[in-house]
Chain A
Amino acid sequence: MKPRVASRGIGLGIAMFAPAVLYIVALVGLPFVMAFLYAFGDVRIGSEGYNFVGLENFASVLESPSFRKALGNSFIFTISSQVLVLVGATILALALQSRFRGRGFVRFLILLPWVAPISLGAIGWKWILDSLYSVINWVLVALHLAKPFDAPMWLGEPKLAMLSVILVHTWRLLPFSTVIVLAGLTAIPRDIPEAAAVDGARFWRTLFQITLPMMRPILNVALLFGIIFTFTDMTVVYILTAGGPFDSTQVLPSLAFTTGILGGDLSAGAAISIFLVPILVVVAYGMLRVAHRSEVV
């Protein structure tokens, strides 16, 4: 009786699993392969047929200064924002740990940047950072920290524009990471910090030598997600600055879009987006290691 039930279980399992797998293979796996094919080919919008051109696309892409700026920016934006996010999320999670009145409402407010559609949040910031009507500038002028017609051009000046993009990414990801870090915090058994208190550790020592090290797996998960979501995102840049001024805030995904879809050169666009793959692989590997480790524990 037993073997038969087990094999029917596997059979049914495969049948139930197959539709989803086939769907994903068809619409994720295949396009993934196609992206590589395009990058090695000469596909344009409206073109027919396919010719293999080897590394031609990669060569021309790598030569382009826009690309090099975009590559650099992708890393700068991702690393800067994730550092800010991790520190911010940890501080905020620590503050949210204790039960206090209004906690639910605070949580609602804090989650807004993550829940609202990315494009809409970005547009909101565009208005806040507007060159003429920025409310931030109004406050700065009112506090006499800036001169009325010489206030910072948040989206118009290259360095400031980069800063703005980093801050909007940070703003958007902070809630998500906070939720993850908070889950990690609450997973720490209550008697560990109590044991540390009895052992004589005060706040900072407990935080840095006990709490944070114990949360390392979850901090890693938050970091890995954050890296993927920031590195591969085109929406913030597209809406806030459209890559400008003068390509100073261009990133790989937005460049790929501009080149491939707006410019029509699908192959060049594909070649640019291929550069996202190494990061993808690193993050995937990181996730697998965390998943594996937590099973051992």
Chain B
Amino acid sequence: MAARGRVRSVLATVGHVLVLLLFTVVLAFPFYWMVITTFKQTGDLYNLDNNPFVFNQPPTLEHLKLLFTETRYLRWLGNTALVGILVVAITLLLALPAAYALARLLGRWGENLGIGIFLTYLVPSTLLFIPLSRVVSALGLYDTLWSVVVIYPTFTVPFSIWLLMGFFKSIPKELEDAAMVDGLSRFGAFVKLVVPMSLSGILTVVIFTFTLVTQEFVYALTFISSESHQMIGVGVPTFLVRGDVYYWGSLMAACLIASIPVALLYNLFLDRFIAGFTVGAVK
């Protein structure tokens, strides 16, 4: 009896480990591959006789050098960061008051409007990009970073309002009431009390907005044409290809450098994200 139980639990553990191993390998492999490719010498990389999983020739930094010195990669990183910061600022400016209004001030309508706002997040860029290309041209923003700075909040704001609504709702109402009894106005209570208390929620919104900015592809591809104005999402697949030749070493280096820091930040804030998401969605 005891033996059967023990065998069963050993099998369960083995199965458990296998499942985790399988999924982790499949999901993370391309990034591992990026690492290997980044540091492999070109001769080693393109030699079909060599085992691709090992370094048959010593690792090299030549691809990284190429990436940083002969391409506009650094420029794109800078552009992306700049756009990220600006879009985060605009998003917070629009979303913070709106989320507060929905969570506290608008009563029953607040719920429904909140869901409505969230639904606009679902409207895809692949539907709006055609009319928006005209709008961008009309505003004279074509091929400038300002085009995306203006347009990106269309998806970061709804998403952020949704997240922030959840955070604000979790702050006990009594605290604001106490502040107002002490003499603050509603808005004053919002600025001086609620916002400072929601710092972790705001930080979460900042991270996720930034992630959304780095991931965007369609608008950047449509509104920006020149190499020096582009960001990494579009720059890497488009401009790191010379003619028909893919410089895979540098390409993978570019992907790796752009992906990992964002991933690290994202992971730190994932639990908060889930909390905000499930508070809002699965009440």
Q: Measuring CB to CB, which residues of chain A are less than 8 angstroms from any residue of chain B?
A: 8-10, 12-17, 19-21, 23-24, 27-28, 30-32, 34-35, 37-38, 43, 45, 88, 91-92, 95-96, 98, 104, 106-113, 115-128, 130, 132-133, 135, 138, 171, 174-175, 179-180, 183-184, 187, 217-218, 221, 228, 232-235, 238-239, 252-253, 256-257, 260-261, 266, 269-270, 273-274, 276-277, 280, 283-284, 287-288, 290-291, 294-295
Contacts and interface: CB of A to CB of B under 8 A. Distances in A.
Contacts of A284: 119, 122
Given A12-B187, A108-B267, A257 B218 contact: yes
B262 interface: yes
Contacts of A8: 186
A256 B126 contact: yes
B283 interface: yes
Interface string B23-35: 1101111110110
* 8 pairs of A and B residues whose beta carbons are closest in the complex: A13-B105, A232-B124, A16-B97, A253-B126, A34-B131, A20-B98, A116-B259, A17-B101
Given A31-B131, A115-B211, A234 B218 contact: yes
Given A124-B33, A221-B282, A288-B115, A17 B98 contact: yes
A257 B128 CA distance: 11
A187 B278 contact: yes
Nearest to A277: B127
B263 A135 contact: no
Given A109-B28, A120-B258, A133-B46, A273 B282 contact: no
A291 B127 CA distance: 25
B128 A107 contact: no
B266 to A, nearest CB: 5
Given A34-B131, A88-B23, A257-B126, 8 more contacts: A19-B94, A21-B98, A24-B117, A24-B158, A31-B131, A120-B232, A174-B23, A235-B218
A28 B152 CA distance: 11
Nearest to B128: A31
User: Which secondary structure characterizes the binding site on chain B?
Assistant: helix
Interface residues of B, number: 95
B48 A133 contact: yes
A186 to B, nearest CB: 9
A225 to B, nearest CB: 9
Given A23-B94, A92-B23, A269-B130, A16 B30 contact: no
B132 interface: yes
B201 interface: no
A291 to B, nearest CB: 6
Contacts of B123: 28, 32, 280
Contact of B222 (A127, A171, A183, A261): A261
B126 A28 contact: no
B263 A133 contact: no
B228 interface: no
A125 B161 CA distance: 34
Interface stretch (B60-68, B81-89, B233-241): B233-241
User: Which secondary structure characterizes the binding site on chain A?
Assistant: helix
Contacts, number: 284
Contacts of A135: 33, 52-53
Nearest to A218: B282
Nearest to A8: B186
Interface string B107-119: 1001001010111
Contacts of A288: 115, 119
Contact of B105 (A16, A43, A111): A16
Which of B28, B101, B151, B157 has most A Cβ within 10 Å?
B101
A292 to B, nearest CB: 9
B224 interface: no
Nearest to B132: A31
B252 A228 contact: no
A138 to B, nearest CB: 5
B122 A95 contact: no
Contacts of B245: none
Contacts of A95: 16, 19-20, 23
